[in-house]
């Protein structure tokens, strides 16, 4: 494509053409594009200390899918950005699961009632022979 004597496909900046820059930009977007929607979710859970609206089954499904994708990569190599996306998604899901478990541990898991032994049962050998 020539515009008034300027060929955009052969234009280079520091040895890179416009096509190279667009290709690199799309690969970076592909790698981090899967993580971006979880950033506001993480921040919301962290700020509110409430993980009620988030299902851990989403993390489970994404972890399984990305682990399977990495295992498939060993058998049949595919593009590196997809492999990097899987690794970054696994790290992201593990961080999100850790936050959710930590928040749910504080808020939802009820501590067992503390019980104290205050009776004297020295004379009891078993429940049958205990005098009350």
Domain ranges of the chain: 1-33, 34-109
Coil, strand, or helix at residue 12?
strand
Distances (CA, A) of 16 to 10, 72, 110: 9, 32, 59
Least confident of 86-90, 96-100, 112-116: 112-116
Least confident of 30-44, 56-70, 102-116: 102-116
State the CATH architecture for 34-109: Up-down Bundle (1.20)
- Cα atoms found within 13 Å of the Cα of residue 40, Cβ hemisphere only: 3
pTM for the model: 0.70
- pLDDT at site 62: 95
């Amino acid at each position: 494509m020539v515009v008034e004597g300027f060929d955009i496909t052969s234009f280079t900046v520091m040895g890179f053409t416009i096509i190279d820059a667009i290709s690199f930009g799309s690969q970076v977007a592909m790698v981090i594009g899967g993580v971006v929607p979880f950033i506001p979710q993480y921040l919301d859970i962290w700020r509110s200390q409430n993980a009620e609206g988030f299902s851990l089954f989403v993390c489970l499904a994404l972890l399984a899918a990305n682990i399977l994708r990495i295992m498939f990569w060993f058998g049949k190599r595919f593009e590196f950005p997809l492999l990097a996306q899987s690794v970054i998604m696994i790290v992201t899901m593990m961080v999100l699961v850790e936050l959710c478990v930590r928040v749910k541990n504080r808020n939802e898991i009820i501590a067992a009632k503390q019980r104290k032994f205050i009776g004297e049962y020295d004379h009891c050998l078993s429940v049958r022979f205990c005098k009350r």
